[in-house]
């Protein structure tokens, strides 16, 4: 789109409020306002979306794969394009392709592929999430323990070399294999440091948050639990207001009751936001795939290793929003914020994404009243039509 365009007839949620009888006005790839149909400028092209819901595009900060592709298997720009396109079909307009613990060489190829994806402006590509290898073996989850190791200077330099390259870059680390000085260096470079796959105690997490850690990776999973004498990582994530926390809303990784408790307990301004932790199965008919040479099995909405260990998730963002709304009894607007505004805040991209406000990117989703997909728009362009 190059001329002004208006989406008309839909009920609009801008990330703060609902608007009825209004139109979303776009100029190129940017939102210029929400206004009554009668106030649209002369010559505006209109696109009817009668009876639909128009909501901010979903932002997923932890996506391991999609469309039959795992980032650990393929790190080229075409793989990243495939992953982004697969998730766009479910309303995700910005995501961080996520590399699970792997070798230094695979990480280097991932960063190179990400640089190319940024250069080619791949729709939906926000940046990279490096989940490991600097984690705790005690809380490894599905990560290969043989590849987990301490962060050294070469690791730090490789990540610092990404400063300013992407719209957002996240690294998940554990205090067991990193120092507060390393976290501070990453944070000062604008890299989002997330704490996860760790058995650390509350006081340690406090120190790492003071050093610059901003988020916690998949709350409750692969971390020390909340105890009555040792609050653990879970307690720290809920108590420390500066920390945001991702959560997998599929009903398998975290019980709905625990999710509800966490949402009510979280100190702000940091928020709990939805991540899918999706694997290659999203948008594909795969029944199994390989991760670091180990087979992952897909059955009844779960992905597991042979021993039953959960290995990522088989859920998309729209299904996650529906879960939060229907199973957690959250108001729809709050469930939508958990998938758009809150991850935008956590990733530091709220000045461009996560809400439908003037000057922000025209990234949005049209849904039916029954919360089924209608279409996905990135930068004012329709990239998926149901």
Residues classed as catalytic:
277
HSE-CB of 268 using CA atoms within 13 angstroms:
7
Token look-up 């922000």 returns 360
DSSP letters, 74-143, are: --SHHHHHHHHHHHHTTTEEEEEEEEES--HHHHHHHHHHHHHHHHTT-TTB-EEEEE-SSS-GGG-TTS
DSSP letters, 38-74, are: GGSPTT-EEEE-TT-EEEEPEEEEEE-EETTEETTT-
Tokens of 142: 């599905």
d(CA 121, CA 115): 10
Contacts of 38 (CB under 8 A, 6+ apart): none
Tokens of 383: 């990239």
Burial annotation 32-44 (CB, 10 A radius, 16+ → b, else e)? bbbeeeeebeeeb
Look at residues 61, 51, 43, 52 and name the one whose alpha carbon lies nearest to residue 6.
Answer: 43
Look at residues 74, 169, 80, 63 and name the one whose alpha carbon lies nearest to residue 116.
Answer: 80
Collapsing DSSP to helix, strand or coil, 261 comes out as: helix
Contacts of 380 (CB under 8 A, 6+ apart): 1, 5, 26, 28, 29, 30, 362
Query: How is the chain split among helix, strand and coil, in percent rounded to 5?
Result: 30, 30, 45
Collapsing DSSP to helix, strand or coil, 385 comes out as: strand
């Amino acid at each position: 789109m190059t001329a002004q365009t208006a989406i008309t007839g839909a009920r609009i949620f801008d990330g703060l409020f609902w608007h009825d009888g209004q139109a979303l006005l776009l100029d190129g790839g940017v939102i210029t306002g929400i206004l009554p149909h009668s106030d649209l400028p002369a010559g505006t092209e209109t696109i009817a979306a009668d009876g639909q819901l128009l909501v901010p595009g979903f932002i997923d900060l932890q996506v391991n794969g999609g469309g039959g592709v795992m980032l650990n298997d393929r790190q080229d720009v075409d793989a990243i394009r495939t992953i982004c396109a697969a998730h766009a079909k479910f309303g995700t307009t910005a995501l961080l392709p996520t590399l699970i613990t792997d070798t230094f060489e695979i990480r280097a190829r991932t960063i190179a592929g990400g640089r190319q994806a940024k250069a080619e402006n791949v729709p939906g590509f926000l940046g990279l999430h490096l989940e490991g290898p600097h984690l705790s073996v005690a809380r490894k989850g599905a990560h290969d323990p043989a590849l987990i190791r301490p962060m050294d200077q070469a690791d730090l330099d490789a990540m610092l070399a990404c400063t300013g390259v992407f719209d957002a870059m996240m690294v998940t680390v554990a205090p067991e294999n990193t120092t507060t000085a390393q976290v501070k260096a990453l944070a000062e470079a604008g890299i989002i440091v997330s704490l996860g796959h760790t058995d650390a105690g509350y006081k340690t997490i406090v120190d790492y948050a003071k050093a610059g850690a901003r988020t916690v990776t998949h709350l409750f999973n692969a971390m020390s639990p909340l105890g009555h004498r040792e609050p653990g990582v879970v307690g720290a994530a809920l108590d420390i207001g500066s920390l945001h926390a991702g959560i997998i809303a599929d009903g398998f990784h975290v019980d709905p009751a625990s999710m509800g408790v966490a949402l009510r307990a979280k100190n702000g301004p940091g928020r709990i936001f939805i991540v899918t932790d999706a694997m290659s199965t999203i948008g594909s008919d795969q029944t199994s795939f390989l991760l670091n040479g180990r087979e992952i099995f897909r059955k009844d909405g779960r992905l597991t290793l042979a021993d039953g260990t959960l290995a990522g998730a088989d859920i998309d963002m729209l299904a996650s929003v529906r879960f939060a709304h229907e199973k957690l009894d959250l108001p729809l607007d709050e469930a939508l914020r958990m998938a758009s505004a809150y991850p935008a805040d956590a990733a530091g991209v709220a000045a461009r994404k996560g809400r439908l406000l003037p000057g922000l990117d025209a990234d949005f989703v049209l849904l039916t009243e029954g919360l089924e997909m209608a279409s996905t728009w990135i930068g004012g362009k329709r990239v998926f039509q149901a």
